[in-house]
Amino acid sequence: MGGSGRQDGSTDVTFKRETSPQTKEFDMQTGASSSVSRRGFLAGSAAVAVSLGLSACAASGSGSSSTGGPITFWDMVWGTGTTYTAKARSIVNGYQPKGRDRGIKYQSIPWANWNQTFTSAAASKTTPAVASGAAFLPFYFLEQGSVVAADDLVKTLDKNGANDFLPGLLQQMKTSKGYAALPWSMDLRVLWVRKSLLEKAGADFPTDWDSFIRAGEALQKKGQVGLGLAAGSTTTDAQHTVSALMINNGGGMFDENGNLDCVTDRNIETLDFLNECVKKGIIDPPSLSYTNTNLATDWTDGHVAMGFNQTGLDKTFRPDQQSDLEVIAPLKGPHGDTGTVYYINPLMMFDTSPSQESSEAFLAWYLDQIHLFWTSGVETDLPVKKSITKLPVIQNNKNLVKSVNEWQPIGKTIGARTDHAFAALNTVDGGTASATFVQRIVQGEQSSKQILQNLQMSLEKVIK
């Protein structure tokens, strides 16, 4: 299935990209962090471009063992923002190429206008050799012929005993043209609760949709929000929550063959559940215009008691508050289904590399180093390798353990009913149609079927 764009060749991504972790700026004195949306963090994109060093950094591995000039690695601003970037640059600078492999040049890329940055580079054949990026971007570029399939790299990992990805993740990267990319981290949505608020409301941890409604009603009576989300135009938080619940009910926007299929009984049932949350005040009306910053404030101020969020949510709280946050077991949907949404953050290789062998050699080495992002505390997403999940930094955090053991195995992409991702998801994910869709849900003025019909028609215009 191909992703399509408008006639000008661009894709419908007006509100795109918070599908991976919110950028967080850590307070190095308190250990807490403030949650900032990518667009909020990068509102002054010019200043960010300067501070993150958009000009090429010094190349690593420039010793006599390499041949030719270095290849370039474009890396997005993940995890903790500038502290992540500094750590990534440090890691890359330690690369020592072997034989005829080339060195590597690290370049940090901000999320502001990221889609234009990549598509313009692809059109002018100035893409880097390797890059991290948005979850579904490699699928789009693989179909466009700009990304090189990673099949040979997968064979190298198999040979080296380094193919230890968590269940289902590598399979999600496989297409009819080969592996579009390799995973390196994962933005998984899990259900968090503030234990003290549920206790004060006399509510039990929900186990299914009915008990979620009961807990939400009890919280609403105490002035708390039972399903915290942000549906403003500068965030995709609400889209993630709706996707998680649709998957929780065995639904999704596409059928098993990757064709649009929004208006289904399961999807209608999910929107009916959300409509009940709206009408009963379990979803806060102001969330219609909320930014990620608004939502983060409501969490830390004790206004939000439950909600789907990233696995690093507790890190946005003061240390003395963090024990009040807990990831609970996955909810069962009305038909007994479990599920949630995840976004697999990829590493992709472009056909403009002066040495494909060097691209593969570097990424094979880099994947052996990524554990350092978690051991140094600069990454807030979930690791994708089993070996990293066994490290003390993960095992000593019960919320991360529950996320790995109970939530990751039931996670799916927004193409949930298919067994792999595909190019069209890059158009849907965070696009204007998806933004309008969730805002109509929170407004609560249309029927579930009507909202889904409008979504179907809107997406048909941008997916050919």
Q: From the CB of residue 302, how many other CB atoms can be counted at a distance below 10 Å? A: 15
User: Residue 298: which pLDDT band, with cuts at 50, 70 and 90?
Assistant: very high
**Which range, of 28-32, 94-98, 116-120, 125-129, averages the lowest pLDDT?**
28-32
Instruction: Output the pLDDT for position 132.
Output: 98
Instruction: Output the pLDDT for position 67.
Output: 66
The mean per-residue pLDDT over the stretch 61-72 comes to 66
Instruction: Output the pLDDT for position 59.
Output: 52
The mean per-residue pLDDT over the stretch 262-287 comes to 98
pLDDT tens-digit readout, 177-215: 999 999 999 999 999 999 999 999 999 999 999 999 999
User: What rounded mean pLDDT belongs to the chain?
Assistant: 87
Long-range pairs for 369-377: beta carbons < 8 A, 24 or more residues apart: 369/91, 369/94, 370/184, 370/185, 372/87, 372/91, 373/79, 373/84, 373/87, 373/88, 373/185, 376/87, 377/80
User: Could you tell me where in the chain the CATH 3.40.190.10 domains are found?
Assistant: 23-188+343-409, 190-341+415-462
Judged by DSSP in three states, 54 sits in coil
23-188+343-409 sits in which CATH class? alpha beta
Q: Whole-model pTM?
A: 0.85
Q: Is the pLDDT of residue 10 over 80?
A: no
Q: Is the pLDDT of residue 271 over 60?
A: yes
Instruction: Output the pLDDT for position 426.
Output: 87
The mean per-residue pLDDT over the stretch 129-147 comes to 96
**Which range, of 24-33, 53-62, 369-378, averages the lowest pLDDT?**
24-33
Instruction: Output the pLDDT for position 113.
Output: 83
Those residues with Cβ within 8 angstroms of residue 457's Cβ, 6 or more apart along the chain or in another chain: none
The mean per-residue pLDDT over the stretch 157-169 comes to 95
As a whole number of angstroms, the distance between CA 316 and CA 36 comes to: 10
As a whole number of angstroms, the distance between CA 43 and CA 134 comes to: 19
Could you say which of 3.30.470.10, 3.40.50.720, 3.40.190.10, 3.40.50.800 is the CATH number of the domain covering 190-341+415-462?
3.40.190.10
As a whole number of angstroms, the distance between CA 236 and CA 229 comes to: 10
Q: Is the pLDDT of residue 312 over 50?
A: yes
As a whole number of angstroms, the distance between CA 366 and CA 422 comes to: 25
Q: Is the pLDDT of residue 37 over 80?
A: no
Cβ-based burial of 445 (10 A; exposed 0-12, middle 13-18, buried ≥19): exposed
Q: Is the pLDDT of residue 51 over 60?
A: no
